[in-house]
Each structure stands twice: as structure tokens, then as C-alpha cells.
């Protein structure tokens, strides 16, 4: 019975450690002149290790980032968020191509509404979570047929 309680407590602690947390040192929200705000609500960074646990190769390690964005629409029009247009750039390695999210749907945010958007990225050539990133939002939010001007959100990942 005692070992079952210890196992249960350990499982809860491990699950809690794998959740989203606030980004380490971020630039804050991005706000358009039309009243749409995009902010980081949480980040989860993890590293996929190679299949061989005793390998000497370090290039098998690949960081993955899961982001929770909060989109707040204070305007009187519907905002359309195109997930597939959002890019994650690794700012410590400017030659690396920005990563695209795994999903690519369009989300409608009604006037006065706040929605959370979950995105998953696998930036190529990023072996761990201790990097600086920029979430590029240009051309990602549209309102009444016009693209909104949103600045990038920069943050540092941690694990």
C-alpha cells in the first residue's frame, strides 16, 4: 500500500513537470492597431532523444516546442488566425529556416472573445531548449480582408 502511494505521488509530480509554463524572458504581447492582442500563455519544451540510449552522436537530439497562445479580440469585427502562417525562428542561429507548426487550420475569434491556440513546432537543428526564439506573426491574423500588423514575440525556452 505504501509503495502504491509513493508511485502515485511520483506520477503526479512527473505529470506536473511536463506541463506548460511561462516562457523564460519574453518580449510580451503583440498588439495590432485594430484591437487584436496575441500573447504567449505558456510554453512546453522537450527533447526527442535518439533511439540508441548509448549513442555517441549528438545530432540525433531534437527539441520540440508546444506553445499556447492567447488571442484577445477587443474589436467589433471577427479576427481570423491562420495557424499555418505562424513561424518559429531560432534567433541564436539566424541561418536556420523558421519552423512551421504541425497544424494549419484557421481559427475565428469573435468580437470581445479570447481564445487559446495550441501550436507544436520541431525547429530543425535545435538540439535543446536553451535557445532564443521569435514567434513571427506577420500575415497570420486577418480582419475584414486585411492583414493585421503584429510584431514578433521573442522568448527564451527552458526545460
pLDDT on residue 15: 39
Domain region containing 91:
21-50+57-156
Q: What is the mean pLDDT of residues 136-141?
A: 94
- Encode pLDDT of 8-64 as tens digits: 444 433 334 456 665 566 788 999 999 999 999 988 888 866 665 555 544 567 788
* Cα–Cα distance, 40 to 67 (Å, whole number): 7
What's 109's domain CATH number? 2.60.40.10
Q: Is 19 exposed, middle or buried (0-12, 13-18, 19+ CB in 10 A)?
A: exposed
| Grid cell of 22 as nine digits | 511561462
* Cα–Cα distance, 147 to 86 (Å, whole number): 13
Residue 148 has pLDDT above 60, yes or no: yes
Give 145 or 5, the one with higher predicted confidence: 145
Taking the C-alpha atoms of 91, 93, 94 and 95 in order, what is their torsion angle to the nearest 10 degrees? -150
Q: Which pTM does this prediction carry? A: 0.76
Evaluate whether residue 4 is within a structural domain.
no
Query: Which residues pair with residue 62 across a beta bridge?
Result: 48
Mean pLDDT, the chain, as a whole number? 81
Structural domain count, the chain: 1
Amino acid at each position: 500500500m505504501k509503495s502504491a502511494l509513493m508511485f502515485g505521488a511520483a506520477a503526479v509530480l512527473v505529470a506536473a513537470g511536463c506541463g506548460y509554463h511561462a516562457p523564460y524572458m519574453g518580449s510580451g504581447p503583440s498588439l495590432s492597431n485594430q484591437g487584436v492582442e496575441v500573447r504567449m500563455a505558456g510554453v512546453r519544451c522537450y527533447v526527442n532523444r535518439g533511439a540508441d540510449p548509448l549513442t555517441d552522436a549528438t545530432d540525433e537530439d531534437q527539441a520540440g516546442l508546444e506553445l499556447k497562445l492567447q488571442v484577445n479580440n477587443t474589436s467589433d469585427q471577427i479576427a481570423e488566425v491562420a495557424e499555418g502562417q505562424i513561424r518559429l525562428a531560432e534567433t541564436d542561429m539566424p541561418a536556420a529556416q523558421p519552423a512551421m507548426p504541425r497544424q494549419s487550420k484557421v481559427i475565428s475569434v469573435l468580437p470581445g472573445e479570447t481564445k487559446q491556440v495550441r501550436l507544436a513546432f520541431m525547429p530543425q537543428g535545435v538540439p535543446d531548449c536553451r535557445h532564443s526564439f521569435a514567434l513571427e506573426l506577420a500575415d497570420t491574423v486577418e480582419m475584414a480582408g486585411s492583414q493585421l500588423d503584429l510584431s514578433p514575440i521573442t522568448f527564451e525556452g527552458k526545460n
